[in-house]
Amino acid sequence: MANVRVERTDDGGFRATNARGAEVRIGGGDEDGVFTPVELLLAAVGGCNIVTVEPLTSQRNKRLVRLAMTVQAEKVEQSRLGPVTVTYDVELPSEDARSVFEAVAERVHEKYCTVSRSLQEGTEVRLELP
């Protein structure tokens, strides 16, 4: 089970923490040094894809020289995003690595990235009040 705690900090900001001690600051789009909730969602999509693609290409002896991506989406309504677009930025170790990378990236996107699949399939979000 995955879980994070999100709370208001003493200085009036917000942070999310996990049981392993990681922390990320959360705020509005006009604040420096913080992620907005939408940016965290996009980071989760990118992170899920990239941490799954990396070991799979490496296991096939096609470790990418550069592996990065941009994840973007626009609001189509005040509280709703349009399509999320993941754009890879890679440097291949050789031309024959292209087919391996493309096959792995497509398979990860279609089957193995929990975050992307959850968004695509519309995972239910439940609210529990004290």
Closest CA to 115 of 36, 56, 54, 44: 44
pLDDT of residue 1: 79
Q: For the chain, which ranges sit under pLDDT 70? A: none
Q: How far apart are CA 31 and CA 29, in angstroms?
A: 6
- Among 22, 32, 30, 25, which residue's Cα sits nearest to residue 8? 25
Does the reported pTM lie above 0.75? yes
What confidence score (pLDDT) does residue 37 get?
Answer: 96
